Amino acid sequence: MPTSSRATFSTLSLPPARKTEFESLDSETDSKSEYEEIQVAPIMSRPVEPLLQAYRLIRQLYISHSPHLRWLLWRSILQLTKLRAQIAEISDHIDELAKEISLLRGEKNALQAKLDAYVYPINALLPEITAEIFQQVVDDDDCPRYYALTISSVCRRWREVALGSYRLWSKLDMDFGSIVDPVSLSELLLSRSGRVPLDIRLSMFSANGASGPAFATVTDEDLALKVFTVAARYAERWQSLELDLQPDLVLYQLPFLALLPPIMPLLQTLIIKGCIDYTGWQSNVSFPCLHKIILYGTTLQSTLRPALPEGMMSPHALGSVTALTLLNTPHRDVLRILALSPHLETLDLEIISARDPPDDPSTPGIPLSALRALTCRATSTLPFLSDLHMPSLRSLKLSDIENDAVLVDAATTHESALGQSVRKLHFHNFRMPVNRLTRLLGLFPNTEDLTLEFSGQVTGWPRGTLVALSQNAVFAPGIQAPGQFLLPALQSFTLRGPSREANMSGLIDFLEARARYAELPRLRHLGIDFLAQMDLSEEMETLGSLGPELELRDIGFAQFDSEDNGE
């Protein structure tokens, strides 16, 4: 039994090696322990011997391989340090490149801004200025339609500017004959308008033409009702409403007018073109800010319907109106509306029916004490002047007058009122003998600004007009008081339209004749636009020499036609 145990121990023993002093002591101790183990073998457990052998093996491995492990560890640490240094170097390089990229991007943006300033100068403006430019363009167009949609589709910057400018979306112009989906378009425009005032224009055309029955309906009443329902939700923000109904020989039934609220606090302008059955309009309407009404009437209104809804025929509804245009309107409607509009300042009239004789001829005319500008269109309107009392009238425009006798009678009847108060006199498309014209001019002695104009609707200037003016340049013909000067206050004179005059010798004679009288003021402004290819350089030089204060103007045709007939 003991012999077998020693044999097993010898098998696990290490090969002989050089022993140190401590190892020799350990060896002696081990020999004694082995001897004791042999002696006490019956007492101790044998499995301890393999553990001791394993311990010696590990110790020997550590002693023999320790330098190599230390070298490997040092090498690994050195490699890690080197890698960290390389990473730090690359990171620093990345930071430097990022700074350079940032600087280069800044230089690029600056150069791009300079390029855009040359190629797209509007992009160099502030968004507020760009938005104001967009708004000015839209406001200058009578039918802006859908400019906001076009602008917002150009580029990202313009879209941001357009969406931030609520006024661009404030014009709802619905032409049911040219829009695929007017309901969705109405909702889109109104939803982007913020809280700004709205301009609403609805253009509806009848399915029946002028030759159809008098009573007709809108092409698609359901569609019109849907659009009007959308727009009516924003009625408290309406500042203008235009109903454009064509043709004018159709009476339109518009039941959706009942959707309008009785009070629209911001409504300032009401434009109605066509004949409407106002049955659905509420009777107690109130527009406290309404100051401008434009009505394009029809012949149907003289026998079928009034020009305005009955609810508006009250001083409460019309008392704030200052500008009124009544075109193609019956005489009775004009009188009724004017009687309820005491604060009118501008009036444009075209009456289609004969003047009804007054019940009491001694009744004074309708007082329009604030009226300053009056336009009379067509000869049929002139007799109506006797129904008005206009002490403050300063501007008078007479358009498309054919019957000179009626015109002379109207001007003579109001000589004390019109002749003495008018300062700005405008004859447009007058068709009468020249001697009648000069007689009329003598009825307005306080005229300071005179315009003689012809448009394309007539054949042009009556030949000899300028010569006739030169022959009566100083004294007014047909005036009872002898020696009365013609236009003694004249300071501005404008001639416009297609001229059949060969030259301007008559105008030169007119100015030279007046210059010989010290009682007559020198002309300060002279506007000439004959709309003809004429070489007038010599005449213009002569005209310029007639007075150092004379200003020669060339007024564009469209510009003059768009001028308001006011002071």
Of the spans 87-101, 314-328, 452-466, which averages the highest pLDDT? Answer: 87-101
Query: What is the residue whose two structure tokens read 């047909």?
Result: 478
Domain limits at 68? 2-78
Q: 9 or 142: whose pLDDT is higher?
A: 142
d(CA 506, CA 94): 87
pLDDT tens-digit series, residues 72-110 = 878 888 888 899 999 999 999 999 999 999 999 999 999
**Predicted local confidence at residue 10, as pLDDT:** 39
Residues pairing with 400 in the sheet:
none
Q: Is this structure's pTM higher than 0.75?
A: no
Do residues 146 and 184 make contact, with C-beta atoms less than 8 angstroms apart? no
Report the phi/psi class of residue 104: left, alpha or beta, with left for phi > 0 and alpha for psi in -120 to 50.
Answer: alpha
Mean pLDDT of the chain: 75
The total of structural domains in the chain comes to 2
Tell me if 156 is assigned to some domain: no
Tell me if 166 is assigned to some domain: no
**Predicted local confidence at residue 22, as pLDDT:** 44
Do residues 207 and 195 make contact, with C-beta atoms less than 8 angstroms apart? no
Query: What is the residue whose two structure tokens read 């982007």?
Result: 192
Tell me if 63 is assigned to some domain: yes
Tell me if 447 is assigned to some domain: yes
pLDDT tens-digit series, residues 277-308 = 776 666 667 788 999 999 887 555 545 556 67
Tell me if 71 is assigned to some domain: yes
The strand pair at 449-453 and 346-351 is best described as: unpaired
Tell me if 391 is assigned to some domain: no
**Predicted local confidence at residue 3, as pLDDT:** 43
- Choose one of 62, 78, 94: the last residue of a domain: 78
d(CA 402, CA 171): 40
- Choose one of 78, 104, 132: the last residue of a domain: 78
**Predicted local confidence at residue 468, as pLDDT:** 83
pLDDT tens-digit series, residues 408-449 = 676 666 545 566 789 999 998 877 777 777 778 888 888 999
Tell me if 368 is assigned to some domain: no
Tell me if 457 is assigned to some domain: yes
pLDDT band at 210 (very low <50, low <70, confident <90, very high): very low
CB contact set of 81 (below 8 Å; sequence gap of 6+): none
Residue 475 DSSP label: B
Would you tell me how many other CB atoms lie within 10 Å of the CB of residue 71? 10
Residue 553, both tokens: 């103007």
- Percent of the chain, pLDDT > 70? 69
pLDDT at 41 over 50: no
pLDDT tens-digit series, residues 334-355 = 888 898 898 999 999 988 766 6
Q: 246 or 416: whose pLDDT is higher?
A: 246
- Choose one of 60, 78, 96: the last residue of a domain: 78
**Predicted local confidence at residue 566, as pLDDT:** 43
For residue 560, give the amino acid letter. Answer: F
